[in-house]
Amino acid sequence: MKLLSALPLLCNIPSLAIADHQSTIFSKRSTVSNPENYVDVFTGTEGGGNVFPGLARPFGMVKLGVDVIDSSSGNAYSGYAPDGKISGISMMHESGTGGAPQYGVVAQLPYTDDIDFATELTLDRQSADSGSVGQYQVNFTNGVNVELAAADRSGIYHYSFPSNASAKILVNGSHHLSSPLRPWWSQYSVNGSIEANDDLSQYKGSHTLKGGWGEQSDWTIYYCGDFDTKPTSVTSYQGTNVNENNGESSSTKQDDSFGLVFEFDKSEIKLRVGISFISSDQACSNIKNDFGNDYDTDQTIKDSISKWNDEVFSKFEINTNNNDTLTDIFYSALYGSHLLPSNRTGEAPSWNSDEVYYDDFFTLWDTFRCLNPLFNLINPTRGGEIVQAMTNIYNHDGYTPDGRSANQNGRTQGGSNSDIVMADAYVKNIDGIDWDNAYQAMKKNAEVQPPYKYDQFAPDASNQDGRGALPDWLDLGYVTRKYTRSVTRTMEYSYDDYSLSVVAKGLGNSDDHEKYLKRSAGWQHIWNKDASTSKFDYTGFVQPKQENGSWADDNYDPLSCGGCYWGDDEYEAQTDNDSSANIYEDDDGYSYSIYDSKVKKESRGLEDYFPLVNHDSKSDDTDDFSDDVFTNRQFTDSNTINTDATIHEDQEDEDKANS
Ligand X SMILES: *[C@@H]1O[C@H](CO)[C@@H](O)[C@H](O)[C@H]1NC(C)=O
What's the Rg (C-alpha) of the chain?
26
CB of 623 to ligand X, least distance (A): 28
Burial of 576 per CB tally in 10 Å (0-12, 13-18, 19+) = exposed
CB of 473 to ligand X, least distance (A): 19
Q: Considering beta carbons, is residue 250 or 449 the nearer one to ligand X?
A: 250
Q: Considering beta carbons, is residue 245 or 325 the nearer one to ligand X?
A: 325
Q: Considering beta carbons, is residue 310 or 637 the nearer one to ligand X?
A: 310
Q: Considering beta carbons, is residue 86 or 502 the nearer one to ligand X?
A: 86
CB of 275 to ligand X, least distance (A): 13
d(CA 274, CA 61): 10
DSSP letter for 79, please.
S
CA neighbours within 13 Å on the CB side: how many for 647?
23
Q: Considering beta carbons, is residue 145 or 285 the nearer one to ligand X?
A: 145
CB of 378 to ligand X, least distance (A): 13
CB of 222 to ligand X, least distance (A): 11
CB of 556 to ligand X, least distance (A): 12
Q: Considering beta carbons, is residue 231 or 346 the nearer one to ligand X?
A: 346
Q: Which residue of the chain is nearest ligand X when measured via CB?
A: 120
Q: How far apart are the first and last CA of the chain?
A: 37
CB of 650 to ligand X, least distance (A): 9
d(CA 230, CA 609): 72
Closest CA to 68 of 47, 86, 48, 50: 86
Q: Considering beta carbons, is residue 243 or 546 the nearer one to ligand X?
A: 546
Contacts of 432 (CB under 8 A, 6+ apart): 356, 381, 384, 385, 388
Q: What's phi and psi for 490, nearest 5 deg?
A: -60, -45
DSSP letter for 123, please.
B
CB of 282 to ligand X, least distance (A): 12
DSSP letter for 514, please.
H
Note whether 527 and 540 are within 8 A (CB).
yes
CB of 471 to ligand X, least distance (A): 18
CA dihedral angle for residue 587, residue 588, residue 592, residue 598, rounded to 10 degrees = 140
d(CA 205, CA 221): 9
CB of 121 to ligand X, least distance (A): 4
Q: Considering beta carbons, is residue 88 or 415 the nearer one to ligand X?
A: 88
CA dihedral angle for residue 187, residue 192, residue 197, residue 201, rounded to 10 degrees = 0
CB of 187 to ligand X, least distance (A): 9
Q: Considering beta carbons, is residue 385 or 472 the nearer one to ligand X?
A: 385
Helix ranges (H only) for 261-379 are 280-291, 297-311, 324-336, 364-367, 371-378
Residue 394: CB atoms within 10 A of its CB come to 23
Residue 534: CB atoms within 10 A of its CB come to 7
Q: Considering beta carbons, is residue 126 or 631 the nearer one to ligand X?
A: 126
Question: What is the chain's percent helix, strand, coil content, to nearest 5?
Answer: 30, 20, 50
Kindly give the pairing relationship between strand 187-196 and strand 202-211.
antiparallel
Q: Considering beta carbons, is residue 19 or 165 the nearer one to ligand X?
A: 165
Q: Considering beta carbons, is residue 358 or 571 the nearer one to ligand X?
A: 358
Longest CA span, the chain: 83
Q: Considering beta carbons, is residue 140 or 516 the nearer one to ligand X?
A: 140
Torsional class of 600: left (φ above 0), alpha (ψ -120 to 50), beta (otherwise): alpha
Q: Considering beta carbons, is residue 121 or 406 the nearer one to ligand X?
A: 121
Q: Considering beta carbons, is residue 117 or 291 the nearer one to ligand X?
A: 117
CB of 559 to ligand X, least distance (A): 4
Note whether 11 and 373 are within 8 A (CB).
yes
- What is the full DSSP assignment across 392-448? HHHHHHSS--SSEETTEE----SS-THHHHHHHHHHTT-SS--HHHHHHHHHHHHH-
477, amino acid identity: G
CB of 538 to ligand X, least distance (A): 13
Q: Considering beta carbons, is residue 95 or 193 the nearer one to ligand X?
A: 193
CB of 131 to ligand X, least distance (A): 9
Residue 476: CB atoms within 10 A of its CB come to 18
Element (H, E) at 68: strand 65-70
Residue 581: CB atoms within 10 A of its CB come to 11
Q: What's phi and psi for 477, nearest 5 deg?
A: 85, 5
**Angle, alpha carbons 120-125-161 (nearest 5°):** 85
Q: Is 503 helix (H, G, I), strand (E, B) or coil?
A: helix
CB of 288 to ligand X, least distance (A): 13
Residue 608: CB atoms within 10 A of its CB come to 12
Note whether 406 and 209 are within 8 A (CB).
yes
Site residues (vs ligand X, CB under 6 A): 117, 120-121, 127, 129-130, 137, 139, 145, 162, 164-165, 172, 174-176, 190-191, 193, 208, 218, 250, 252, 257, 323, 325-326, 343, 345-346, 381-382, 385, 535, 546, 548, 550, 559-560, 577
CB of 577 to ligand X, least distance (A): 4
